[in-house]
Structure 1
Amino acid sequence: MKERIERLKKLTYIPQNEIAWLIEQAELSVKQQEIIEENKCQQDVTVHQFRQAQKDIQHLSGDRKRYKQALEKIITNLNFAIQVAQNELEGAAE
């Protein structure tokens, strides 16, 4: 391709078929640039979605930790309440 372009630069008259080739190459270049831009946009969207997913995971992990701690406190309180009730039942039975 470079050779063909260099040859065309040297010509004072450019044949019609060579002009058609140049136009074809220019159109191809424009299409390739559009594809590159579209791919870049899609990549940017994907990166944004990935980062958002990471934030969501961190948030959910924090929620999970808080829920687990709260559940552990409830279980501890229930165990204490059960123990108190058992002690009262044993005291009443004596």
Structure 2
Amino acid sequence: MKERIERLKKLTYIPQNEIAWLIEQAELSVKQQEIIEENKRQQEVTVHQFRQAQKDIQHLSGESSRYKQALEKIITNLNFAITVAQNELEGDAK
């Protein structure tokens, strides 16, 4: 293709078939540029979604940790309440 373009640059008169080829190449170039721009846009969207997913995962991990701590406190309190109840039952049984 480069050779053909260089040959055309040297001509003073460009035949109709060569003009058609140039137009076809220009249209192809425009389509390729549109595809490249669309791919860039999709890539930006994907990167944004990925970063948002990372933030969501960090947030959920933090929530999970807080829930786990709260549940551990509840279990500890329940175990204490069970122990107290068992002691009271044993005291009443004596």
Q: TM-score range by the shorter chain?
A: over 0.9
**Number of equivalent positions:** 94
Query: Aligned residue for 1:32?
Result: 32
Query: Aligned residue for 2:5?
Result: 5
Q: 1:83, CA displacement in angstroms?
A: 0.1
Q: 1:22, CA displacement in angstroms?
A: 0.3
TM-score (norm 2): 0.99
Aligned equivalents of 2:33, 2:21: Cα separation in 1: 18
Aligned equivalents of 1:75, 1:42: Cα separation in 2: 48
Identity between Structure 1 and Structure 2 (%): 91
Unaligned runs of 5+ in 1: none
CA RMSD of aligned residues (A): 0.3
TM-score (norm 1): 0.99
Q: 1:8, CA displacement in angstroms?
A: 0.3
Q: 1:47, CA displacement in angstroms?
A: 0.4
Q: Please list every run of at least 4 consecutive aligned residues from structure 1 whose deviation after the TM superposition is greater than 3 angstroms.
A: none
Deviations 1:6-51 (A, max 9, x none): 0000000000000000000000000000000000000000000000
Unaligned runs of 5+ in 2: none
